[in-house]
Chains A and B, each alone.
Chain A
């Protein structure tokens, strides 16, 4: 995650709900009402790049308050976590957030959700297995697989369920899928080319 990393920058644009702890006259525009003061207790969705620092920053007062408090975004809500616990492969993470894992990692830096980390690790491991499986099948690299798709990158060889699963991958998982697929393909190409000599 370098400073120039495009994906990391896009992840930082993901929004989380924040509640302001004090009245701020000049920030009404954050709550869609420029010119009006932002009242204490107002909850607005702020991008991570803003929320993260506001949550950490100290107001400088004696009681060590922060400017805002935050909640977990809906993408990491209880319903999602329970669904992930039940069957990680059945949840289309992409519908929750295109940068699901990135968002979750940020949230774990900010909060002390012990359980979330466990759930996410299990989610990733079981989904990664599934991804690797699909990556080998696509484009007829699998042995004895119905060679419906002549096009190398075609998804035609997959069943409906597989397509549904792949559509639900978040950006990180998509990258993993692409890498796995390219790896399998390159391996096959190498095996074929070596026979010629």
Chain B
């Protein structure tokens, strides 16, 4: 028997699964729309229930209506909580990804992978972020960059592991163009190897352009 709040539950189950995943699964556009629609329907019900009373409803005189109103109200409140919790779980995840150095292009790349995968069918293989979430990531990234900009000699998103060696061997997995280091420019072309200062390439390793050797 479908009941008010069931759809919201489905949404929260999605959020529960999201918590244990490394990547962000596709945004549940349909489900979110259905839950908001349910809230609107409930609100309409409440309005039509209250209409004959012309603003002078006495709960003690009409207990059955009072109870219906309470049930409707609680259902709306429940849906609101489910919606908020779902989105909050996702933004938490997005913030984590931004702190880990993922940028909007990486997340878009993830979407291409999804589209080619077998699981893409149901959600049309579209972007795994909603347009609002993309915006959120962009703006959060800007905020973080502005925050980090206050300390030029500390990389707040750098690794917390103390390095064993200042210099490391890396192999280039994807063309990353030319980078400037203290020791001059290096051109990072695919499959080449370099002996570089770890601090110079940490971000590129995190982004998957380079692989640390040894």
Contact = CB atoms under 8 A, between A and B. Distances in A.
B81 interface: yes
Contacts of A22: 63-64, 67
B94 to A, nearest CB: 15
Interface string B55-96: 000111001111110110011001001101100110000000
A3 B83 CA distance: 12
A22 B63 CA distance: 8
A172 interface: no
A25 B74 contact: no
Given A49-B78, A59-B60, A27 B66 contact: no
Contact of B71 (A6, A7, A10, A27): A27
A24 B59 contact: no
B67 A50 contact: no
Contacts, number: 80
Interface string A9-39: 1101100000000111111011010000000
B89 A6 contact: yes
Contacts of A3: 81, 84-85
A60 B60 contact: yes
Query: Which of B1, B5, B58, B82: most chain A CB closer than 10 A?
Result: B1
Given A47-B5, A50-B75, A54-B70, A6 B19 contact: yes
Given A6-B19, A50-B75, A60-B60, A26 B81 contact: no
28 contacts: A3-B81, A3-B85, A4-B84, A4-B85, A4-B89, A6-B19, A9-B81, A10-B13, A10-B16, A13-B12, A22-B64, A24-B64, A25-B64, A25-B68, A27-B67, A27-B68, A30-B3, A30-B71, A49-B5, A49-B74, A50-B5, A50-B71, A53-B70, A53-B74, A60-B60, A61-B63, A62-B60, A67-B63
A193 B89 CA distance: 34
A5 B16 CA distance: 10
Interface residues of B, number: 30
A10 B63 CA distance: 30
Interface residues of A, number: 29
Interface of B: 1, 3, 5, 9, 12-13, 15-16, 19, 49, 58-60, 63-68, 70-71, 74-75, 78, 81-82, 84-85, 88-89
A19 to B, nearest CB: 13
Interface of A: 3-7, 9-10, 12-13, 22-27, 29-30, 32, 47, 49-50, 53-54, 57, 59-62, 67
A59 B63 contact: yes
Nearest to B69: A26
Nearest to B88: A4
A190 to B, nearest CB: 13
B81 to A, nearest CB: 6
A49 to B, nearest CB: 5
B12 A67 contact: no
A51 to B, nearest CB: 10
Contacts of B64: 22-26
Query: Which of A4, A30, A53, A57: most chain B CB closer than 10 A?
Result: A4
Nearest to B58: A60
A180 B68 CA distance: 46
A152 B5 CA distance: 40
A60 B67 contact: no
A72 B68 CA distance: 24
A59 B59 contact: yes
